[in-house]
Amino acid sequence: MKKNWKELDIALIVKKGGTAQDFKTGDWRSSKPLWDQEKCKQCLICWLFCPDSSIEVKDGKMTGIDYEHCKGCGICAKECPFKAISMEEEKK
Amino acid sequence: MSNIVAKTGNEAMAEAMRQINPDVVAAYPITPATEIVQIFSSFVSDGKVDTVFVPTESEHSAISACIGAAASGARVMTGTSSQGLALMHEILFIASGLRLPMVICEVNRALSAPINIHCDHSDTMASRDAGWIQIFSEDPQEAYDQTILAMKLSEDIFFPAMVTTDGFIISHAMSRLEMYSDKEVQDFLGEHKTPYNILDTEKPMTVGSIVLQDFYMEIRTQMAAEMFKAKAKIQDAYAEFNKKMNRNYNVIEKYFMDDAEYVIVALGSTAGSARYLCEKLRENNEKVGVVKPRVFRPFFAPELVEILENAKGVAVLDRSDMMSSTGGHLFNELKSAFYGNAKQPPMKNYIYGLGGRDINMSDIEKVLHDIKEFSVSKVKDSDVKYITVRE
Ligand code: SF4
Ligand code: SF4
């Protein structure tokens, strides 16, 4: 349960530093990119285009999508030359 | 030991600042408040205070520097007026939202356009919803006392406070000032209190982080509740000040209110003129009285209703207009305070003295005649009247 108004610290200070890292900016996404590993040719066009650095890459290979920061803009799906990414509406 | 001197409102506020000896003062000059920080900067140069003085390039920067300093655990003050306070507007909300104690010595002055450097309350009233404590003063003595009081109060409730005088009428008018010793002021203030300190390396923290739909409602609700609670603490602060500094101040001052039938409600210097007039009229047994709210924010609505509800007529003097077709700020607050109250005294608004236009005894006397007429005839003409104006 999130704290109610009586339980919050004054001015909503956060009692630690570097908190920007903990801020999940992807939680207001209305549609979600789905990656089809089978179709993917690892061209990394999606990685190049994603405005939110949400294409996860390891050792030069795409490994998935960072849903904690992905805004669901759909650019990756549009740009993928192999239609390996499709968009699906978020169900909340 | 008190020391009796002659000082203007600005000098009195500068002296209060010297005795408070804040850690940081960041300021930008503006008529008619310039002298406050100018005199204070001499205290800094002369080594009479331990303050770090930050001369900034604008009021926006001045109040921003104040926020940074206050969040770092410093005791902070500044001074401004009119366009300067308006330029601070954006940052005023940040100071209160971050719950940082600080005091602005604010000299009430009209807002442009047309440009005008003289007194009215438009500037302070335009910041009334910023989450600041707002205190009005009638003369240099009150400005001095309430500046000291506000510093302590602000640290007790973690809301910033502005103490105001009336431009030129108080800021540049010399009068008798009874000053405390530096030690008495320091003893009254006690240990500096701060809600948090971002420079505390033992306890790293994030201040001013983004808060969206999930917590903004909660934190603003908490702030509103704290402001509500602050009302009792403000009353306590006045009581403590009276006791320690040998004064007799109330959040709302009442003059001749035991049996007054017709009452003038006014802020700041005009309350003094109204009181003087009532003293004269009382010699002819006219049952007139004056109510002077010192604190405009938070607004002491039920307390004012209780004081005014038995009057036969209430004349509310506003030195500011909301340009909403509904009259001035004090009038709108009082009218809404009376909503749903069993007793509804006839109430009328008189907007006066904009841009420093004088208000004389004869003007206030006319107001008393008018409110009497209004309450007897109950004629429902406009309840907002512009006075001290060429017709
Ligand atoms: S939908 Fe937009 S934000 Fe999300 S991974 Fe694709 S390009 Fe990046
Ligand atoms: S653009 Fe398409 S094919 Fe290329 S790496 Fe991304 S998902 Fe794979």
- Per domain, the residue ranges of chain A are 39-92
Q: What is the pLDDT of residues B90-136, one digit of tens each?
A: 999 999 999 999 999 999 999 999 999 999 999 999 999 999 999 99
R_g (Cα) of chain B, nearest Å: 21
Nearest CB among B97, B217, B218 relative to A11 is that of B97
Q: How is chain B split into domains, by residue range?
A: 3-245, 252-386
CA B230 to chain centre: 15
What does each C-alpha distance from A65 to A30, A33, A79, B88 come to in angstroms?
Answer: 15, 8, 15, 44
Q: What is the pLDDT of residues B30-68, one digit of tens each?
A: 999 999 999 999 999 999 999 999 999 999 999 999 999
Nearest CA in chain B to A16: B205
Token code pair at residue B197: 């300190």
Q: Which ligand neighbours the alpha carbon of A35 most closely? A: 2
Tell me the CATH number of domain B3-245, given options 3.40.50.11540, 3.40.50.300, 3.40.50.970, 3.40.50.720: 3.40.50.970
As its CATH architecture, domain A39-92 has 2-Layer Sandwich (3.30)
Cα separation, B308 vs B334, in Å, equals 10
Look up the ipTM and state it: 0.89
Q: What's the CA gap between B222 and B192, in Å, rounded?
A: 24
Write out the two tokens for B290. 């004056």
Query: What is the secondary structure of B17-48 as a DSSP string?
Result: HHHH--SEEEE---TTTHHHHHHHHHHHHTTS
Q: Pick the residue from chain B with its C-alpha nearest to A15.
A: B205
Q: For residue B360, how many other CB atoms are within 10 A of its CB?
A: 11
One fold for B3-245 and B252-386: yes
* Confidence (pTM): 0.92
SS3 content of chain A, % helix, strand, coil (to 5): 20, 20, 60
- What value does the mean pLDDT take over residues A77-81? 98
Q: How many CB atoms lie within 10 A of CB A80?
A: 21
Task: Reply yes or no: is the peptide bond before residue B195 cis, omega within 30 of 0.
Answer: no
Show which of residues 196-235 on chain B sit within 8 Å of chain A, judged by CB atoms.
196, 203-211, 214-215, 217-219, 221-222, 225
Task: Please give, rounded to a whole number of angstroms, the shortest distance from the CA of B250 to a CA of chain A.
Answer: 29
H helix or E strand, kind and range, residue B266: none
Q: Which two tokens stand for residue B119?
A: 């007194």
Determine if ligand 2 sits within 6 Å of the CB of residue A77.
no
Residue nearest ligand 2's atom 2 by CA: A80
Give the class (CATH, top level) of B252-386. alpha beta
Q: How many residues does chain A have?
A: 92
pLDDT at B380: 67
Q: In this complex, do A13 and B158 lie within 8 Å of one another by their Cβ atoms?
A: no
- Residue nearest to ligand 1 atom 6, measured at CA: A76
pLDDT tens for each residue of chain B, 391 residues long = 579 999 999 999 999 999 999 999 999 999 999 999 999 999 999 999 999 999 999 999 999 999 999 999 999 999 999 999 999 999 999 999 999 999 999 999 999 999 999 999 999 999 999 999 999 999 999 999 999 999 999 999 999 999 999 999 999 999 999 999 999 999 999 999 999 999 999 999 999 999 998 999 999 999 999 999 999 999 999 999 999 999 999 999 999 999 999 999 999 999 999 999 999 999 999 999 999 999 999 999 999 999 999 999 999 999 999 999 999 999 999 999 999 999 999 999 999 999 999 999 999 999 999 999 999 987 767 899 999 999 9
Ligand 1 centre distance from Cα of residue A32 (Å): 8
- Position B155 scores a pLDDT of 98
